[in-house]
A = this chain, B = another copy of it.
Amino acid sequence: MSTRIAHAGLRRKVMSARDAAALIRPGQNVGMSGFTGAGYPKAVPQALAALMGEHRARGEDFRIGVWTGASTAPELDGALAEADGIELRLPYQSDPVSRAKINAGTMEYIDVHLSHVAQMVWEGFLGHLDVALVEVSGITEDGDLIPSSSVGNNKTWIDQADAVILEVNSWQPLELDGMHDIYYGTALPPHRQPIMITEPGDRIGVPRFRCPPEKVVAVVETHAPDRNSAFKDPDAESRAIAAHFIEFLDREVASGRIPPGLLPLQSGVGNIANAVLAGLADSGRTGLTAYTEVLQDGMLDLLESGTITLASATAFSLSPAGIERFNDNVAFFRDRIVLRPQEISNHPEVIRRLGVIASNGMIEADIYGNVNSTHVMGSRIQNGIGGSGDFARNAYISTFVTPSTAKGGALSCIVPMVSHVDHTEHDVDVVITEQGLADLRGLAPRRRAARIIEQCAHPAYRPMLHDYLERATAGAWGRHTPHLLGEALSWHQRYIETGTMALT
């Protein structure tokens, strides 16, 4: 048995993934670890999916509620969705099988601000949590749990569930121990206290999860890698977006609006975010910090080069190559990385206090600066809002990035009216596409529209947008935020009907 299970009582609870999965009953809510492809349970979800299949073969339904940190990996979301085993999913996912079922109307999904999840569970707003299924990298003699490569909502799952199933993954580097900062000071009102983080690197908690050993009903040993896909090298579009963003930061520093060491950076996941990180590496700046959700490969470069000296997050999101680099230099990274529960990495209080500069991806923005991050054609969920609202609302400067078109130009990502709103004009300071950057701060709606169209829209769609704005300004019911309601969503409708937003 693995030496990673140092607690005698818990060693006696070691069992197979299948036996552990059998402890989960149909209809239960299960809080699972996992935030991007990091730190999710590797064995029990698949065993559970197999059990679900056997039930189904006997004509019995077996579905559960799956709560996580954020998205996970095919072995969790994919396997359970394939098995038709997810009744309700929250708070964020990006799995293609799940997405298809959600959009077919056969799986329920609740999309939640990531900073709100833990409190909603404590508050009892989401129903009862039956089981916590959490990957850890080890168990101490005292029964404390050494977190693995993501923290997410694990503290809350362990505290709130009736029963805890642990996966001890010996693939995770032992050196993770000590990197985490698990804050046990949260409470329900009227007992809440200030969260005393004033710098991204401040530690206010303990390195390990507490868990009464008697709550643990199963321990499963695994040795399996995290799974995050490798990044493509930034393409020309991503590099152009990154360049606009970095130029903007330079101008802000030059104008004295932000200090030369910038302010803590947050960036979403994906290729554009990675290109921004790469751009920062070439920017010549040093001594920066990050207060963000996930640490991608690009962050390792920045830490090694001293561009960034401290990064706080709730999870890693490293490619296989990134994981190797991390393991090769783990002592160095340990001193420069703090992993926190997502209620702290995304806490409005901390984000606003630190004055984070946020950069998040989007599906589309409208001419007035409202942003759709989640719903393709206003109805089909892509992933979910994730932490973007926590950061956008409370950031010092909130930026949103996207290529100006999608689907080979058939879609304009700048539209008259977004088909779904996740971030209102009030929470969107800057919009960036490969075409340029629109700084919307201090502009009334019609000025915002002119600037977004001019700076961000693709030239193929720019005249159509100007035309809409002009006609709306002339003919709208009100001219504060002019819209022609019969036409505002017609671009989307045209795409649905003809396959392109363009007028042919």
Closest to A421 in B: B421
Shortest CB–CB separation between residue A428 and chain B, in angstroms?
A: 12
- Establish whether residues A483 and B378, one from each chain, have CB atoms under 8 Å apart when the complex forms: yes
Tell me whether B355 and A444 are in contact (CB under 8 A).
no
| A12 at the B interface (CB under 8 A) | no
Q: Is the CB of B109 within 8 A of A189?
A: no
A353 an interface residue at 8 Å Cβ cutoff?
Answer: yes
A476 near B198: Cβ-Cβ < 8 Å:
no
Q: Please, which residues of chain B bring their CB within 8 A of the CB of A189? A: 263, 353-355, 396
Closest Cβ–Cβ distance, residue A124 to chain B (whole Å): 6
A429-486 CB contacts (< 8 Å) to partner B:
429, 441-444, 446-447, 472-473, 476-483, 485-486
Cβ contact within 8 Å between B478 and A496: no
CA distance A193 to B354 in the complex (A): 9
Verify if A192 is at the interface (C-beta below 8 Å from B).
yes
Contact A485 B478 (CB under 8 A): no
**Selected interface stretch from A217-225, A276-284, A369-377:** A369-377
Q: Are B477's CB and A444's CB within 8 A?
A: no
A366 → chain B closest CB, angstroms: 11
Q: Choose one: B375, B421, B429, B476; the contact of A379 (CB below 8 Å).
A: B476
Contact B426 A379 (CB under 8 A): no
Interface residue from B375, B443, B496 paired with A110 (Cβ < 8 Å)? B443
Residue A410 at the B interface, CB < 8 A?
no
Quick check: is A488 within 8 A (CB to CB) of the other chain? yes
Q: How far does the Cβ of A307 sit from chain B's closest Cβ, in whole Å?
A: 17
- B485 & A492 in contact (Cβ 8 Å cutoff): yes
Distance in angstroms from A354 CB to nearest chain B CB is 6
CB distance from A257 to the nearest CB of B (A): 6
Nearest chain-B residue to A486 (Cβ)? B493
Closest B residue to A354 using CB positions: B189
For A292, the chain B residues whose CB sits under 8 A away are: none
Are B194 and A370 within 8 A (Cβ)? no
The reply to whether B348 and A378 contact each other, CB–CB distance below 8 Å, is no
A2 interfacial contact with B, CB 8 Å? no
Q: Which of A41-49, A99-107, A138-146 contacts B (4 or more CB under 8 A)?
A: A99-107
B123 touches A257 (CB 8 A): yes
Task: Determine the chain B residues whose CB is within 8 A of the CB of A389 once the complex forms.
Answer: 393, 424, 426
Q: Closest Cβ of chain B: how far from A194's Cβ, in Å?
A: 4
Cβ of A259: which chain B residues have Cβ within 8 Å of it? 190
Assembly of this chain: how many copies? 2
Judging by beta carbons under 8 Å apart, are A381 and B194 in contact?
no
CB <8 Å contact, A376 and B109: no
Type the 1/0 row for A378-392, where 1 means its CB is closer than 8 Å to any CB of B: 111100010001000
- A82 contacts across to B, CB distance below 8 A: none
A111→B196 contact, CB < 8 A: no
Interface residue? A422 (CB, 8 A): yes
- Does chain B have a CB within 8 A of A130? no
Q: Is A249 an interface residue (CB 8 A)?
A: no
Q: Are B109 and A444 in contact (CB under 8 A)?
A: yes
Chain A contacts with B in 92-147, Cβ cutoff 8 A:
102-105, 108-113, 116, 120, 123-127
With A192-B355, A426-B112: A126-B198 Cβ-Cβ less than 8 Å: no
User: Cβ of A489: which chain B residues have Cβ within 8 Å of it?
Assistant: 485-486, 488-489
Cβ of A349 within 8 Å of any chain B Cβ, yes or no, is yes
A160 at the interface (CB under 8 A from B): no
Q: Which residues of B contact A110 (CB under 8 A)?
A: 442-444
A259 and B102 alpha carbons, distance in the complex (Å):
37
User: A314 to chain B: which residues have CB within 8 Å?
Assistant: none
Does chain B have a CB within 8 A of A57?
A: no
Complex CA distance for A67 and B54, rounded to whole angstroms: 67
Which single residue of chain B is at the shortest CB-CB distance from A473? B105
Closest to A103 in B: B478
Q: How far apart sit A113 and B352, CA to CA, in the bound complex (Å)?
A: 14
B198 close to A196 (CB less than 8 A): no
Taking the nearest CB of chain B, how far is it from the CB of A117, in angstroms? 11
Q: Does A88 contact B (CB under 8 A)?
A: yes
Closest CB in chain B relative to A462 CB, distance in Å: 22
A255 contacts which chain B residues (CB < 8 A)?
A: 124
Q: Which 8 A-B pairs have the closest CB atoms?
A: A189-B355, A380-B478, A105-B479, A421-B421, A194-B194, A379-B478, A349-B349, A108-B444
Q: List the interface of chain A (C-beta within 8 A of B).
A: 88, 102-105, 108-113, 116, 120, 123-127, 188-190, 192-196, 198-199, 255-257, 259, 261, 263, 348-349, 352-355, 370, 375-381, 385, 389, 393-394, 396, 417, 419-422, 424, 426, 429, 441-444, 446-447, 472-473, 476-483, 485-486, 488-490, 492-493, 496
Known: A103-B480, A378-B417. 11 other contacts (CB 8 A): A110-B444, A112-B426, A125-B441, A126-B442, A127-B442, A189-B263, A190-B199, A348-B349, A375-B478, A421-B421, A485-B493
